[in-house]
Amino acid sequence: MYRYSEKFLLILIGLILYYFLQLLFDGVLPHAHLIIFSITMFILLFCYDSVLALFKKYVIRDYFLNISEAEKSLEVLNDNLNRSVRYHEITKLISETFDTVLKNIPYAYYILENNRFYLTHYKNVDAHSEILLTNLKSENFKSFSRETFVFRDLTKLDFDETTLNLFINGGLVSVFPFWGHEQIFALLFTDESKIKFIKDDSTLKLFRKIQKKAGLILENSALFIDLEKKNYETAKIIEVSQKILSSLDTKNILDFILDSLQKIIQFDAASIFLLEENGKILLNTSSIGYKNALGDKLYLKVGEGACGWVVQTKQVDVLDDVRNAEHYYGLRPETHSQISIPLIFDTKVLGVICVESNQIAYFTDNLVEVLKLFAHLAAIAIHNAQHFEVMLAKQALEHELVNASAVQQRLLVQQFPKMPNLSLTAENIASKIVSGDIYDFIKLDDKTLGIAIGDVSGKGAPAALMMTLIMAGLRSQHKISSSVKHIVYQLNNLLYDSISRNKFASFFYAQVNMHSNTLIYSNAGHNPPILIKADGTVNTLVTGGIVLGYIQNFIYEQDEIEFKTGDMLAAYTDGVTETLNNNEEEFGETRLIDLLLEHRDKNVEEIQKKIIQSLKEFSNNINPVDDITLIICKHE
């Protein structure tokens, strides 16, 4: 089939040939018009390709070369997307293709991370323009529908006037959204009117196919990047912990902490200030990324600048744009955002770690958590070096940092989310030093809470590592998926691809919506959680599928049930019901249900204590042979 552009050429060439032959034969042969028409059609049918090639070559050569080059590049990209699985490989392929098909056209390509779109690649945009420092909130693009191919009116987006003018003045007046599973995952800003290949039907169709495919593939591959990053962060934490134990040289340790931190976060500059004994002066002890030595000798008064401010408040201070900050002491003109974190040990402020970035609003919630953990390590290092009793300090650090259970506990929820009319509590008791059980609470919005519990096969360190993988996968996946069964589906494939075939995990995930008073869940081979209704009715939640990591691409089911005032959910691992007494009898599900019914009018903390106490009495306080995890959730 001919493309629309070639149909136009067919008509044009036919008219030219008809006119030429009419001049040649008119008045010489009978029925000249019929003969001329027949000759014209003969030429078009049997010599069309040759005539078209000559026409393109000498008449509109540049136009068709541009279309042809764009189409070939997009076809290669489309084929490569089907074979690529690595996130950085995919982003590189997309960027290289844009460089080819958007030649001499300004464009900027953004990818979603933690509810913000960050600039990934750009071309033909002023390298000094502040547009390259701008990251965009995902809320700005909620008005886009899945049918949106290109958005042409930036004034309708929720941009402030400064950001809007930056894009328009940079020639970026059109937006192509790249959708993931349930939200936009990438954005291409450019000027649609300058893109020639969009006017060609087949090339346009190919581009739209890539537009729909690329977002989904990027979203899937981003999950594995999150897991790799989490594993790398954990390795660095352990490395820093070991360094702290092996050295008492404060400067040496703090330099090592900054160096390790930069490999994870890729900031532009950072300093660690120590508070002098008088408690009034901060002295810069370690720094990285400053062009001169001034920063290494810098003194700050308590209360001066962001660092001095956090010493007084003991609070983390995040400056998305230092130009708008009331308390900021600038050392680098390139800095646009900054975070200052107090170094606290046993409620005492020992100093401040200050990290700077050349990008606006660079420090996301995830980065803040990583920085807080490194700040905790720095505080311990300082405390260790400042105290004479080295052996006692080493023992404390060994228990807190090197022991795998300490790292593991940091991955579990430290503070339960606050939800209106919803009470939560959880207990995890490891049978060994580390636990193979997992639980998590994820606040999805002001009215919705994600609840997870799981139990991996085996015990000890291998089980704990597998638990860590599930935890990281869950926290990464919930950012890009809202369907309960889809999250469980992705976690199943993650474990299948990442662990040996004889390993698996039971898992239960639910989302409680306090607005609709509903609970949506999917049970992947886990002990069925118990739902006690306000009237005393007992339900067990079994809908879902098999354990995680057993069969690839298994399709899980989900169920939606009412969760109203007075209802209570109890989720647990088999360490609860399989606790043994001296006669080797199991505690069992029936005893657990009876306890829940008997004490359901009490608050969740009291209910939990009653159950744990009953387990200890039943087992005669013998150490548990399996990990015990219990979650109580009550609609008040």
Contact 426, 413 (CB under 8 A): yes
- DSSP for 92-138 reads HHHHHHHHHHTTTS-EEEEEEETTEEEEEEEESS-TT-GGGG--EEG
Please state which CATH class domain 247-402 belongs to. Answer: alpha beta
Q: At what angle are helices 201-246 and 250-265 packed, to 10 degrees?
A: 170
Model confidence at 425, in pLDDT bands (50, 70, 90)? very high
Mapping DSSP to helix (H, G, I), strand (E, B) and coil, where does residue 524 land?
strand
- What local confidence, expressed as pLDDT, does residue 188 receive? 92
| In the predicted structure, residue 401 carries a pLDDT above the cut 50 | no
Q: What is the pLDDT of residues 145-184, one digit of tens each?
A: 888 888 888 888 888 888 888 888 888 889 999 988 778 8
Same-fold call for 64-221 versus 247-402: yes
Q: Which of 142, 154, 156, 93 is nearest to 121 (CA)?
A: 93
Count the residues in the chain: 636
What's the DSSP call for residue 292?
S
Query: For residue 465, with 0-12 CB atoms within 10 Å meaning exposed, 13-18 middle and 19 or more buried, which class applies?
Result: middle
pLDDT of residue 383: 77
Domain boundaries, the chain: 4-58, 64-221, 247-402, 407-635
Q: Was domain 407-635 assigned CATH 3.60.40.10?
A: yes
| pLDDT at position 58 over 90 | no
Nearest in space to 171 (alpha carbons), one of 152, 197, 190, 196: 190
**Phi, psi at 325, each rounded to 5°:** -90, 140
Residue 314 class from Cβ within 10 Å (0-12 exposed, 13-18 middle, 19+ buried)? exposed
Query: Given its phi and psi angles, is residue 622 left (phi above 0), alpha (psi -120 to 50 degrees) or beta?
Result: beta
Phi-psi category of residue 114: left, alpha or beta, with phi > 0 → left and psi -120 to 50 → alpha: left
Per-residue pLDDT tens for 319-340? Answer: 888 887 777 877 788 888 888 9
* Amino acid 432: pLDDT: 64
| Burial zone of 111 (CB within 10 Å; 0-12 exposed, 13-18 middle, 19+ buried) | buried
Residue pair 285/254 in contact (Cβ under 8 Å)? The answer is yes
- State how far the Cα of 274 lies from the Cα of 351, in Å rounded to an integer: 4
Cα 542 to Cα 508: distance, rounded to the nearest angstrom: 9
Assign 39 a pLDDT band (cuts: 50, 70, 90): low
- 69 contacts 100 by C-beta, under 8 angstroms: yes
Q: What single letter denotes the amino acid at residue 247?
A: S
Are 112 and 141 spatial neighbours (Cβ–Cβ below 8 Å)? no
What's the pLDDT score for residue 17? 56
296-310: average pLDDT: 77
Residue 400 has pLDDT above 60, yes or no: no
Least confident interval from 19-23, 90-94, 577-581: 19-23
- How is residue 123 annotated by DSSP? E
Determine the CATH number of domain 64-221. 3.30.450.40
Q: Which helix H or strand E contains 445, and what residues bound it? A: strand 437-445
pLDDT, one tens digit per residue, over 583-608 is: 889 999 999 999 999 999 999 999 99
